[in-house]
Structure 1
Amino acid sequence: MSFNYVVKQGDTLYRLSRRFGVNMPSIIAINPQLSNPARLVPGQVIQIPGRMNQYYVIQQGDTLYSIAMSMNVSLQRLLAANPGILPQSLQIGQTIVIPPGAGSGIVDTQTDYGYQEMMNDIRLLKQRYPFLEVTDIGASVMGKRLPLIKIGQGPVHVHYNGSFHANEWITTVLLMKFLEDYAQAVENGTSIGGRSANALYNQTSLWIVPMVNPDGVELVQDGLTPQHPYYQQLLAWNENSLDFSGWKANIRGVDLNDQYPANWEEEKKRRSPAGPGPRDYVGTAPLTEPEAIAVALLTRNLPLSLAIAFHTQGEEIYWNYRDLEPPESEKLADRFASVSGYRAVKLTGSDAGYKDWFIQDFRKPGFTVEAGLGQNPLPIEAFNRIYKQVLPLMVEGLSP
């Protein structure tokens, strides 16, 4: 028994398989008309095989987390299987779907990870770990809120960010998984990366912006449809190709990591194309894009001791900027290299990046970490290996 489903914007085969509890090969097998299963088209009608879900009736005292634990299913999958249910609005007697389980963690590190997944996970993490502080720093060009999560109560302030570049979205998964593992270690009073989580929590306040460029990430993962408000411009900027897998810029074709007032004019002369495009366009002036502005304002408003921007790829750590960095920067870079296996690199011939501006304006240690090795976007199958490398680096960054 199967049923019709009308594809919506943002749907992927993986997201549908989670929602309906059916594996992807089964969906593909029953839909031979799908010439390219990786690109579902909104409005397209496909068949979903008969569900294999279980059902559960909400009891007194239930939470989504307690249900996930008892049913051995991840909170992410539980939420995806029940898109109309909010964690804070469960009602006794209400029936929910229990999809096939895959562990009881929240952050799913086995699939493409977009804005929708991140926002769901932040909500669930906040429910599970009330000591997390969640707010936002502004919005993207298309109005997506840019979440900010704080973990820790210490006097040392540190900032991590990810997905400045759209096709480097795996950095968001790295940060979200680290946030979950760190929060769990704090709650359990255990260690993370060989350090006492509670000691780190009391020593350092970590501020995470996991996805600076959500519009761009959505474009890379979901593609472009005629309904998109920037359809004509994006198509032209991408040389009339519907393949946006190589897109780094925001939705207005501006490279957000070339937006900072650190010799911006030099960067423009060096490599900027004449106008918007997939990468390297610095814009008409520094800090014209709302995403770059939001990160800059956050940085100005916090007494940061250290900042790390996570990018991909290369397994390298950039730690300097025009000899303006403080003396401790190179020593910290060597520590990061030692625990991660990455190479600390003294970079030249690059300006206008977030790390460059942070060093120039605040004279504090700032770093760009190029995680993983391969071709962007790095496949999610590489996540476990990359996370094993960067986890100790992330922990080390909490003790500058």
Structure 2
Amino acid sequence: MSKPTGLTTASILSISLVGGVSTLITGILPQLEREFATVSTTMVEWLVTAANISALVTLLANPYLTHRWGIKKVVVTGLWLAALTGVIPLFTHVYWLVLLSRLALGLGIGLFSPHAIGLIAHTYHGELRARLLGYQTGLGALGNALFLALAGLVVAFSWRNVFLLYLLLGGVALLASAGLPASEAAVPADQLAVKKLPVSRWLLVALAFVTYLLIWGVQLKLPRLFLDRAFGSAELANWTLSAMNMGGLLAGLTFGRVHRHLHQYTLTLGYAGAALAVVLLLTTANTLVAVGSAVFFNFIYSYTGPYLVYRSQLDLPPAQIDAMSSWLTIATVISAFFAPPVWNFLGALGPGTVTTNVLLWAAGLLGLIAVAVTAFFRHQPQPILERGNSHDH
């Protein structure tokens, strides 16, 4: 698939648009807490992130499934499964049924989400691959923004209507059915073998886990911060989360240009800028400044994701690219599962409320990571492909 058709390209990119659909209910966390008043905060927040841990099951099984049935069938099946199970909470008031439906949603996400990266990584090389991975991140942010913006509209009528938005995945499934090639090469079932990946790549997987754990800490507590400081209603929280993703879209679209100039220090920019944004979010009492800080946080932090993907796949043979893509995806989804207990535990340690303490921890950790990666890169040789000596294919 070195020269994909327009329809095929649209099909691949559409997978990126819906990769983060589990998060579209983030803005209704206060309503979910009222609906399930007898359930702990951590358990309610798990309704947002539970899909990510169940996605781990199908992510691990993905090499076997694609080897057995091909990428197209796996992707389309995953999209339909997510569409149909995502809407179930609209019809029930029972917490455990809602949780089970979210777990089923995750099974679908795990079937299609890793192929958004893998298909690009197989097809392009050098700075062109970096630019397209930036686009992939940007499109993921755009998809999240669109879903959260729609959630901000429908929540005005009823917060339960937010779950109807999962039916839109059916449209993406139809596009994938029409555009993805049926003859996509099968993936060997042993590609996730630990021994095949260098230790340095596992360190990047670990950093990806921490990176996404931090962004979850900010996003999960943002609706509560807005409520506690009277910044606005649930609608404003949803619109802010949507605008944050538009910041991510802008970062994705400009990642290639920034990477050409900063190379490995693109990572420093992302972590340091995010730390400053969280500090501003913590210290302001102004609604517009709070919204702007949240949007800037997501914008600047979104430079880290595509860089971690790009750097992790440099010089890997084709047989290892899918393995690396899968493990990076696994790192991001399990970070979402661990986010509620980790951040609620850390939120109990500090001078302020749980929400304030979480943001303090996030700002401190982001600053430490910025310093650490800068010091590390100063003592490491720059990869050849990052010096601008490679050619786009």
TM-score band, normalised by the shorter chain? under 0.3
Looking at both structures, which has the greater relative contact order when contacts are Cα pairs under 8 Å and sequence separation is at least 6? 2
TM-score normalised by L of structure 2: 0.25
Q: Which has the larger radius of gyration?
A: 1
| Higher helix fraction (1 or 2) | 2
TM-score normalised by L of structure 1: 0.24
